[in-house]
Amino acid sequence: MASGLEIEGAGLLLPTHGILISSLSEKRTMDIRLLHHVSLPVHDLEVSRRFYREIIGLNEIVRPNFPFGGAWFRLGAKQELHLIVAADIPDAEATYRDGKGINSEDIHLALRVASYRRVVEFLGSKGYTQDGDSQSKMRMKLNPHSITGYPQIYILDPDRHMIEINADALD
């Protein structure tokens, strides 16, 4: 049972440790099953494809033959990551984080992993460091004792999209 401060009449429970933010009302407008996919615009599809395969470890899946470049990856059991070459789409106004470094308060996607320690070691073996220029695409920001209750790593993909990698516990 979740504990916290109940907001009467609003169906809300303010969590004491992130347990429950809100309860479902009797009159739901949507019956959401899962977050199906996240789409990210990319400048160079092959560079991004290699990053998501070799660094993040995703498996590429079949993508419909859209009239623009892109790639799809399996992310977990049922989720997907869609990369889109926005330059192939007339009048596209893709959103990039050009010129930005790691900022955990900015837009990002988060991935849960089995071992925080193994990911830190793996990223280090691929050239990621905690030191150096804050704008570097090879920088990793470690937050092993996050206020969230789970350890976090932040990195950038080739287009500077921010990725949080977290684990259930510090190992």
Cα Dmax for the chain: 53
112/162 same-domain check: yes
159/117 same-domain check: yes
Is 13 a member of any domain? no
Domain with 75, as residue range(s), is 34-88
Q: What is the pLDDT of residues 85-139, one digit of tens each?
A: 988 888 888 888 888 999 999 999 999 999 999 999 999 999 999 987 888 999 9
How many structural domains are present in the chain?
2
SS3 call for 32: coil
CA-CA distances (angstroms) from residue 66 to 2, 56, 139, 159, 164?
Answer: 45, 25, 34, 21, 29
156/117 same-domain check: yes
Is 135 a member of any domain? yes
Opening angle at CA 102, ends 59 and 43, nearest 5? 50
pLDDT at 132: 73
Euclidean distance between CA atoms 7 and 12, whole angstroms: 5
The C-alpha torsion from 158 through 161 and 165 to 166, rounded to 10°, is 170
166 pLDDT band (50/70/90 cuts)?
very high
Is 1 a member of any domain? no
CA-CA distances (angstroms) from residue 123 to 43, 116, 142?
Answer: 23, 11, 11
82/116 same-domain check: no
Is 25 a member of any domain? no
- Tokens encoding 7: 């907001």
Q: pTM for the whole thing?
A: 0.83
